[in-house]
Structure 1
Amino acid sequence: MPVHPTRHTLHRPTCDDPRTHPRRRRTRAVTALLALPLITLGGAAPEAAATPPATTTPTATSPTYLVGRGLADITGEPGENGMLGYGDSTQKTSGIHMRQHARAFVIVDPHTGTRLLYLLGDMLTGESKIRRDVLTALADRYGSRYGEANVMIGGIHTHATPGGTGEYSLYNVTTMGTHQDTFTAVKDGLLAAVDRAEADLAPTRINVSSSALTNASVNRSRLAFDRNPDELTARLPDGIDPRSVTLTFDRAGATVGAINWFAVHPTSLTSKNTLISTDNKGYAEWLWERGRAGVDYEAINQGGSPAMVAGFAISNGGDATANLGLKPGTGPTTDQFDNMRIIGQRQFDAAYGQLKGPRTAVTGPLDSRIIYVDMQHASAPAAFTRTGHDESTCRATLGAAFGASSTEDGGGGATFLAEGVDGNPFFAVLTKPTYDADPAFRQCQSPKATLFESGALDGVQTVVPVQVFRIGDVYLLGMPGEMTAGTGIRLQDTLAAALGTTADKVILQGVTNAYSHYFTTPEEYDRQDYEGGATIFGKWTTPTFQGVVDRLGRDLRDGRATPIGTPPAPRASVESAVGKVLLDSPSPEHQYGDQIDGTPGLPDTPGAPTTASVAPGGHASAVFVGAHPNNSVHRRSSLMQVERRDGDRWVRIADDNDFATSFAWARSGIAASTVTLTWAVPADTPAGTYRLVYTGDAKDAAGQISAIRGEGHPFHVG
């Protein structure tokens, strides 16, 4: 039977934490109730690796599809890289809370050979540069098997992620340019996941299910949402889309894969966090893979096959925050890491609980369509504008409300800017002459008070892809940005009508293949909250996309090819010098791997009384003389482990893939480093002797990189 979670406390870093200031000996404990299994890795008990049985058997007598699953690490630079999502230049990586992964699902119709490739990364978004390079590499490896239409690449939208992976300047401001090492880690990880999925192909049943999840999100822009017509707001009475939709993949009576879509921002972790993490959606993935199926991520990176691959994607969550208290780091608690756990647990419970309810077998053909749209010169059909005539998009422009950032989720917003149509009178005055001189631009962008024209600066992607996958009688719509709840409903309805099906057969996915900010309804746009200010193509963005989606749906329904248009050309980029390692050098009195602080160790004398003991539910820590973690980006292995003594050997039981651990790095002088490992000891941890182990890489004056290791003082738990 699966290992079940227990509750315990967890200490997590703040700006005053000893993991940021490792010479401080006292910690500021933050208490959080957490649900964590204790899993022995590299030697897991048989029950830890068991997968839950499928509770509903599809009516088909044999599997309809061949499905392959792949899982691979994509963790980027843990040191001094600007983080992507909040736009806060002070948020730079300083370690790892939970490593990030790519999940690949290859679906094949064995009768026709038609293939779909779905890729989901623990990253902010799909991006044009990542997509282009992945498609090129896939062509080299697999020939014509994969192309533009049948490859979909999305992100879970975590904001606790290293940046510099894109080619558009606006998104590289906080990273001071591109970061090739982080980009390569993401690209190579995505490709490794595909290779593993190809090797995993086997007859598999696909089922679809859904349920309502109402306590994991709240609308952060309710005044804008309430401007929508009654027929729309009546369908979403709480201002959120509560639909949790899951595709599950079953073999031999067991569920071995799942993809869930739910509308919530992974912003439980605030802009004050500087540890790489997967946030709430990644915690849901971890619960299913590690907690229920005993997946050892380290073994997978060495070529093992996972018992479970579970992805948790974002749907129309553009205005849905995980901060239920409507302030950064609030709701259900005031601790950001506890909130990450709780909101992730609720998403997991909703998806996993669907195994016990009715699931519908997915049957039928596979198909796909994609089209690239120049959103600065597109038409919004009268059928969708609600003005009685066609409207037009225009040059991409960010509003002053965007510069204020989201009040509920926080970030790098300017204090002199505000959300709301009347919130920025100074910029409204500056915008008026432009509107007076260009009525078409006013018709497109008004009442937005302009902050700057991002399209004119070529700072954002303006030619963007819209994509539809057909998986039997289920349709997945991939959009290149963040859809509000209302926008999602309109796109869902439009695609369903074009296909001649019902809206419940359409699944929505945001931040897919590219990123072009937000998509609000015209009614929401007029409020000019953060989301409206970030709707860069103007008021008619969603009606324009409705026209595109209508065309894709009709082409798909009628078996007609869709000309894909012209993908955006590659952009020149400047490699950032930030985070580049020139030299590592420990202080003269120490060597790499020396433990210089943390939990005291046990005496070496056999039979001597215990001098170091950590109670279950407590915290163990160790501070080591280390090296810059960016030397280890491509090692594809953990920078820390928790080990338990088993006779005359040490057995790894946790690592930096786990929620209860953290690896924090800090400079000490110019070329020296300290690393702090922390483990929140689960409440059900067996009594015994444990230690924390640091592994890394150091660069010498000649540029040679060598492995280093630090074994912490053993301590007793129990």
Structure 2
Amino acid sequence: MGYSFIAGTTDGPGVLSFTQGDVEGSLFWDLVRNAIKEPSKEEIDCHAPKPILLPTGEISVPWKWQPTIVDVQLLRIGQVVIAAVPGEFSTMAGRRLRNAIKETLVENGMSGDTKVTISGLANTYSDYIVTYEEYQVQRYEGASTIYGPHTLQAYIHKFRELAKKIALGTSQGEEVGEAPVTTNYTGFLPDSRTDTGNKYGKVIVQPDPKYRRGATVEAVFACGNPRGSASQMRGQSYMYVEMKMEDGVYKQVFSDADWSTKFEWKRKEISLLGSYGEATLSWNVPLNVGLGTYRLKHYGYYKNIRGKLTSYEQETEEFEIVLENYRRS
């Protein structure tokens, strides 16, 4: 990362004496940098004319500060080709990549009407990618281009390889090259406390019997700390809105992934043994929702004093969505 990385952008300037366009550096900040990690001559030569403020590519304590292997990906849907890039391309860098991909596609038999689009920040993040000329100026984006002045050309080279395979039909979801390195990072958040208190899943506040469209349905449940069961709930939802069908069977029609719902957990009590929490389930009834009988359903886990997680589920009493203008009491 170069000096101008700290300078910030035109619409959000940085701090201290740092300014954009710095290709000289500072003896004082070099000494501060060297106390953290002095860059190698190889890295200084590789990144010239960037004055290096942080040699992130050579720091691996406690883990690597920058990815050394990143994913590039090309997808085709009919005449549309999507380049999934693991970083932020400048406007001109993006144009050059897009033009190179299309040129390769056409050279290998695809129609000139093929549309190429770029999807940024895909799969991982490797900061900025600018053109060689933009890199020489060392504004914020150039200073944040972590693989040196030829970064864009490296991406163009790899995407040309993928574009040729796409055009010739020789690539069907294959993985090419060395896989990125993954690390099991240690989090700084402490583990969730033991769940204590009322029986989990118990409905503390039931919804009203009737609501109109546009109203907000609410119910409160005794709820284990959701942070303690995040991995167990992956791919599931903590709340659902269920509608009663003509055969009497309930069908899930909304979940906590919908804009009209909200799942809010709060710790209510805390002690040496653990803590007790409650969750408020809210549903803003859409104006086009069907009239009929509904209920809210909650899924979750609670953790005992030995750290064991136990699942539970519970639903509210039924309530009606009606045409009349009912209000909450």
Bin the TM-score by the shorter chain.
0.5 to 0.7
Q: Is the 2:79–2:114 contact (alpha carbons within 8 Å) kept by the matching residues of 1? A: no
Partner of 2:229: 631
Q: TM-score, normalised by structure 2?
A: 0.68
Distance of aligned partners of 1:468 and 1:626 in 2 relative to their CA distance in 1, 3 Å threshold: closer
* Alignment pair present for 1:620 and 2:217: yes
Q: Is the 1:447–1:528 contact (alpha carbons within 8 Å) kept by the matching residues of 2? A: no
* Alignment pair present for 1:460 and 2:63: no
* Alignment pair present for 1:652 and 2:252: yes
Partner of 2:47: 444
SS of residue paired to 2:218:
strand
Query: How do 1:638-677 residues align onto structure 2 when only pairs under 5 Å count?
Result: 638-645=237-244, 650-668=250-268, 669=270, 670-677=274-281
CA offsets per residue over residues 238-268 of structure 1, 9 Å max, x none?
xxxxxxxxxxxxxxxxxxxxxxxxxxxxxxx
* Alignment pair present for 1:681 and 2:285: yes
The one-letter code of the counterpart of 2:223 is: G
* Alignment pair present for 1:416 and 2:24: no
For the residues of structure 2 that align with 1:551 and 1:646, how far apart are their CA atoms? Answer: 53
Q: CA deviation at 1:490?
A: 0.3
Q: Is the 2:85–2:121 contact (alpha carbons within 8 Å) kept by the matching residues of 1? A: yes
Distance of aligned partners of 1:593 and 1:567 in 2 relative to their CA distance in 1, 3 Å threshold: closer
The structure with more radius of gyration: 2
For the residues of structure 2 that align with 1:466 and 1:490, how far apart are their CA atoms? Answer: 16
Q: What percentage of residue pairs aligned between the two structures are identical?
A: 25
SS of residue paired to 2:57:
coil
SS of residue paired to 1:653:
strand
Q: CA deviation at 1:632?
A: 5.8
SS of residue paired to 1:694:
strand
Distance of aligned partners of 1:482 and 1:671 in 2 relative to their CA distance in 1, 3 Å threshold: same
Q: Is the 1:468–1:475 contact (alpha carbons within 8 Å) kept by the matching residues of 2? A: yes
Query: How do 1:50-199 residues align onto structure 2 when only pairs under 5 Å count?
Result: none
Distance of aligned partners of 1:695 and 1:555 in 2 relative to their CA distance in 1, 3 Å threshold: closer
For the residues of structure 1 that align with 2:289 and 2:232, how far apart are their CA atoms? Answer: 32
The one-letter code of the counterpart of 1:594 is: K
* Alignment pair present for 1:496 and 2:102: yes
Partner of 1:482: 88
Partner of 2:327: none
For the residues of structure 1 that align with 2:113 and 2:95, how far apart are their CA atoms? Answer: 9
Please, which of 131, 139, 146 is the counterpart of residue 536 of structure 1?
A: 146
Q: CA deviation at 1:619?
A: 1.9
Partner of 1:592: 200
Q: Is the 1:419–1:528 contact (alpha carbons within 8 Å) kept by the matching residues of 2? A: no
Partner of 1:692: 296
Q: Is the 1:444–1:540 contact (alpha carbons within 8 Å) kept by the matching residues of 2? A: no
For the residues of structure 2 that align with 1:403 and 1:694, how far apart are their CA atoms? Answer: 48
Q: Is the 2:89–2:120 contact (alpha carbons within 8 Å) kept by the matching residues of 1? A: yes
Partner of 1:517: 127
Please, which of 304, 310, 313 is the counterpart of residue 709 of structure 1?
A: 313
Q: CA deviation at 1:700?
A: 2.0
CA offsets per residue over residues 634-657 of structure 1, 9 Å max, x none?
354321112345686654332223
Provide structure 2 residue ranges, at least 5 long, that are not aligned to the other structure. Answer: 323-329
Distance of aligned partners of 1:558 and 1:694 in 2 relative to their CA distance in 1, 3 Å threshold: closer
For the residues of structure 1 that align with 2:10 and 2:201, how far apart are their CA atoms? Answer: 42
The one-letter code of the counterpart of 1:619 is: T
Distance of aligned partners of 1:406 and 1:624 in 2 relative to their CA distance in 1, 3 Å threshold: farther
The one-letter code of the counterpart of 2:300 is: G
Q: CA deviation at 1:682?
A: 0.3
Distance of aligned partners of 1:556 and 1:615 in 2 relative to their CA distance in 1, 3 Å threshold: closer
Distance of aligned partners of 1:600 and 1:545 in 2 relative to their CA distance in 1, 3 Å threshold: closer
For the residues of structure 2 that align with 1:485 and 1:508, how far apart are their CA atoms? Answer: 11
CA offsets per residue over residues 332-382 of structure 1, 9 Å max, x none?
xxxxxxxxxxxxxxxxxxxxxxxxxxxxxxxxxxxxxxxxxxxxxxxxxxx
The one-letter code of the counterpart of 2:65 is: G
Q: Is the 1:475–1:507 contact (alpha carbons within 8 Å) kept by the matching residues of 2? A: yes
Distance of aligned partners of 1:574 and 1:469 in 2 relative to their CA distance in 1, 3 Å threshold: closer
For the residues of structure 1 that align with 2:264 and 2:279, how far apart are their CA atoms? Answer: 6
The one-letter code of the counterpart of 2:237 is: S
Query: How do 1:543-554 residues align onto structure 2 when only pairs under 5 Å count?
Result: 543-550=153-160
SS of residue paired to 1:455:
helix
Please, which of 430, 441, 444 is the counterpart of residue 29 of structure 2?
A: 430
Q: CA deviation at 1:714?
A: 4.8
SS of residue paired to 2:232:
helix
The one-letter code of the counterpart of 2:70 is: V
Q: How many residues align?
A: 298
For the residues of structure 2 that align with 1:403 and 1:667, how far apart are their CA atoms? Answer: 41
SS of residue paired to 2:258:
coil
For the residues of structure 2 that align with 1:494 and 1:571, how far apart are their CA atoms? Answer: 30
Distance of aligned partners of 1:428 and 1:558 in 2 relative to their CA distance in 1, 3 Å threshold: farther
